[in-house]
Amino acid sequence: MTESALKETPLHALHVALGARMVEFAGYAMPVQYPTGILTEHLHTRAGAGLFDVSHMGQIRLSGADVAQHLETLVPGDIKGLAPGRQRYTLLTNDAAGILDDLMVTNAGDHLFVVVNAGCKHADLAHIQAHLGGKVAIEAQFDRALLALQGPQAAAVLLRLAPEAGSLGFMAGREIAVDGVPCFVTRSGYTGEDGYEIAIPADQAERIARRLLAEPEVKPIGLGARDSLRLEAGLCLHGHDIDATITPIEAGLNWVIGKRRRAEGGYPGAAVVAEQLANGPKRRRVGILPEGRQPAREGTPLTDAAGNPVGTITSGGFGPSFGGPVAMGYVDAAHAADGTALQAVVRGQPRPAAVAPMPFVPHRYYRP
Amino acid sequence: MSTIKFTQEHEWIRVEGDVGTVGITDFAQNQLGDVVFVELPPVGRKVTKGGDAAVVESVKAASEVYSPVTGEVIEINQAIVDEPAKVNADPQGEAWFFKVRLAVPAELDAMMDEAGYAAFAEGQH
């Protein structure tokens, strides 16, 4: 795909002005890093506040009578139990319980505010329309901007522009004016740090982004550091760690399915999930720590100590805050216990590795 | 008297007598970003022109480093294994990768000189 064929977010000109290296991601030209580099951006996000452009992700507004009940026919999460102003992580599943996408749903009072992955957003919209069309009002807001402000200084910074944001707890969200602009702000993110995601009308996005970047704690952060931050936090990336062939139970996302939904079912793949909850899945997502300094990346085969294949790494790299290589992947259930010795076969060479608990860097979500 | 030559894969080789010192260019380290791991060939390994010789890994990705020439590895730079960030700091100086005894000196003839490489790298942006 040539660069001219790529879509641009409302912050494209700002990225270029900031000296970003732009790459293709999900059909968009996106900043992978700024001149300071991924290592510095990653560490800055854990120490200060990082500003990410995630406008390529999809925003969908669902409304109408019984909208939560209707959405529950597509996801295993407890949406009916989501109080106004509360947000939840959930999954679109298929009949085999495979994960079509992961998404964030916020009860915005008179509607559900849904954020889905960039690479899946058109398929998600078609899926939702096919199943819920005529039952609920579906409004894609794919032209709106989305900024993520992440890190221990994020709250102090945002409060200067949006004093109302101070009362938001973790996994809460509502309409809040940011520097006078009506935005939808949630206290959530994808780094393991405290922070916010801010949905903004496209024509105000660059002004708000510049306003945030003018604060001394804030630096622009690209998709490269976003990936290393979420990997250290043990968070799944759709298309890599989860996809339409992997179930929530295999992925270790059992916590996504609340007690009522386990009992009632009523979503695609519920029978598969119930079976795997009862008997255990055949494979499981685990954290993997390679010994030494060499990263073991996506696609690296995993074997037991004797060299028999037991799984594959689905995300792997160097963890700048961890200070060494970190990875996650799928292994046979018999090899999933923490501490199990494995080998990661990097470019044909078996290297010692071990199953390890995640996250690799402790979460620091805001829990008052 | 030494000469420095460059490959289209962004390696450099500085030749003195029949020994070449090999590294990656400033353009290459800039494209890679923060280097976090370097794997070097063992001393004594026979390398071939254009064949795999070393691996350099950034936060984001792993990249092969190819030998610009055919020959035998006679020395490696342990300093960049111990401190991979040196590759970003001084790629065409202190952070050389390995030294090779040239088996086919004529291989150098087809490689770019400094001005030729600068023009080539400019075209890669």
Q: What is the pLDDT of residues A91-102, one digit of tens each?
A: 999 999 999 999
The reply to whether A262 and A291 lie within a common domain is no
Residue A311 within any structural domain of the chain:
yes
Q: Which two tokens stand for residue A9?
A: 């977010």
Mean predicted confidence (pLDDT) in B97-112: 96
Domain count, chain A: 3
Q: Tell whether B26 is within 8 A of chain A (Cβ).
A: no
Task: Identify whether the C-beta of residue A52 lies closer than 8 Å to the C-beta of residue A147.
Answer: yes
Phi, psi of A281 (to 5 degrees): -75, 160
- CA gap B83, B37 in Å, rounded: 8
Q: What would the pLDDT profile of A137-151 be if each residue is shown by its tens digit?
A: 999 999 999 999 999
The reply to whether A26 and A148 lie within a common domain is yes
A197 assigned to a ligand binding site: yes
pLDDT greater than 90 at residue A1 = no
Residue A4 within any structural domain of the chain:
no
- Cβ-Cβ contacts under 8 Å, A224 against chain B: 33, 59-60
pLDDT greater than 80 at residue A3 = no
The reply to whether A167 and A275 lie within a common domain is no
Q: Tell whether A316 is within 8 A of chain B (Cβ).
A: no
What is the least distance, in Å, from the CA of B125 to any CA of chain A? 11
Residue A347 within any structural domain of the chain:
yes
In 3D space, the residue among A55, A102, A357, A148 whose CA is nearest the CA of residue A232 turns out to be A357
CATH number at residue A269: 3.30.70.1400
- Strand bridging mode A181-186 / A173-178: antiparallel
pLDDT greater than 80 at residue B125 = no
Q: What would the pLDDT profile of A151-187 be if each residue is shown by its tens digit?
A: 999 999 999 999 999 889 999 999 999 999 999 999 9
CB contact under 8 Å between A293 and B58, yes or no, is no
The reply to whether A157 and A179 lie within a common domain is yes
The pLDDT value given to residue A368: 75
Residue A365 within any structural domain of the chain:
no
Q: Tell whether A23 is within 8 A of chain B (Cβ).
A: no
Which DSSP category does A201 fall into?
Answer: -
The reply to whether A153 and A42 lie within a common domain is yes
Q: What would the pLDDT profile of A288-335 be if each residue is shown by its tens digit?
A: 999 999 999 999 999 999 999 999 999 999 999 999 999 999 999 999
Q: What would the pLDDT profile of B107-124 be if each residue is shown by its tens digit?
A: 999 999 999 999 999 988
Q: Closest to B33 (Cβ–Cβ): which among A33, A325, A347? A: A33
Q: Which two tokens stand for residue B47?
A: 């390398």
- A127: CB partners within 8 A, 6+ apart: A74, A92, A100
Q: Tell whether B62 is within 8 A of chain A (Cβ).
A: yes
pLDDT greater than 70 at residue B61 = yes
Q: Closest to B34 (Cβ–Cβ): which among A32, A38, A297? A: A38
- A211: CB partners within 8 A, 6+ apart: A161, A179
Look up the ipTM and state it: 0.88
- Cβ-Cβ contacts under 8 Å, B36 against chain A: 39, 293, 295, 318
Mean predicted confidence (pLDDT) in A239-266: 97
| Residue B2, helix vs strand vs coil | coil
Q: Which residue segment(s) compose the domain that A111 sits in?
A: 57-140+247-281
Task: Identify whether the C-beta of residue B88 lies closer than 8 Å to the C-beta of residue B23.
Answer: no
pLDDT greater than 90 at residue A104 = yes
Residue A1 within any structural domain of the chain:
no
Q: Closest to A38 (Cβ–Cβ): which among B37, B57, B60? A: B60
What is the least distance, in Å, from the CA of B51 to any CA of chain A? 15
Residue A364 within any structural domain of the chain:
no
Residue A163 within any structural domain of the chain:
yes
- Cβ-Cβ contacts under 8 Å, A297 against chain B: 61-62
The reply to whether A152 and A46 lie within a common domain is yes
The reply to whether A225 and A153 lie within a common domain is yes
| Residue A104, helix vs strand vs coil | strand
Residues A301-306: contacts with CB under 8 Å, at least 24 apart? A301/A344, A301/A345, A302/A329, A302/A331, A302/A342, A302/A343, A302/A344, A302/A345, A302/A353, A303/A342, A303/A343, A303/A345, A303/A350, A304/A335, A304/A341, A304/A342, A304/A343, A305/A341, A305/A342, A305/A343
- Position A286 confidence tier, pLDDT thresholds 50, 70, 90: very high
Q: What would the pLDDT profile of A5-60 be if each residue is shown by its tens digit?
A: 899 999 999 999 999 999 999 999 999 999 999 999 999 999 999 999 999 999 99
The pLDDT value given to residue B124: 82
pLDDT greater than 60 at residue B99 = yes
Mean predicted confidence (pLDDT) in B68-84: 97
Which DSSP category does B3 fall into?
Answer: E
Mean predicted confidence (pLDDT) in A81-94: 98
The reply to whether A188 and A210 lie within a common domain is yes
The reply to whether A210 and A289 lie within a common domain is no
- Position B1 confidence tier, pLDDT thresholds 50, 70, 90: low
Mean predicted confidence (pLDDT) in B7-34: 96
Residue A89 within any structural domain of the chain:
yes
List the domain boundaries for chain B.
2-123
Task: Identify whether the C-beta of residue A51 lies closer than 8 Å to the C-beta of residue A212.
Answer: yes
Which CATH class for the B2-123 domain?
mainly beta
Positive or negative torsion for Cα A117, A122, A128, A134? positive
Interface test with B, best of A16, A39, A230 (most B CBs within 10 A): A39
- Which residue matches tokens 């730079």? B77
Q: Closest to A37 (Cβ–Cβ): which among B34, B39, B55? A: B34
Would you tell me which residues 274-293 of chain A have a C-beta closer than 8 angstroms to some C-beta of chain B?
Answer: 293
Q: Tell whether B89 is within 8 A of chain A (Cβ).
A: no
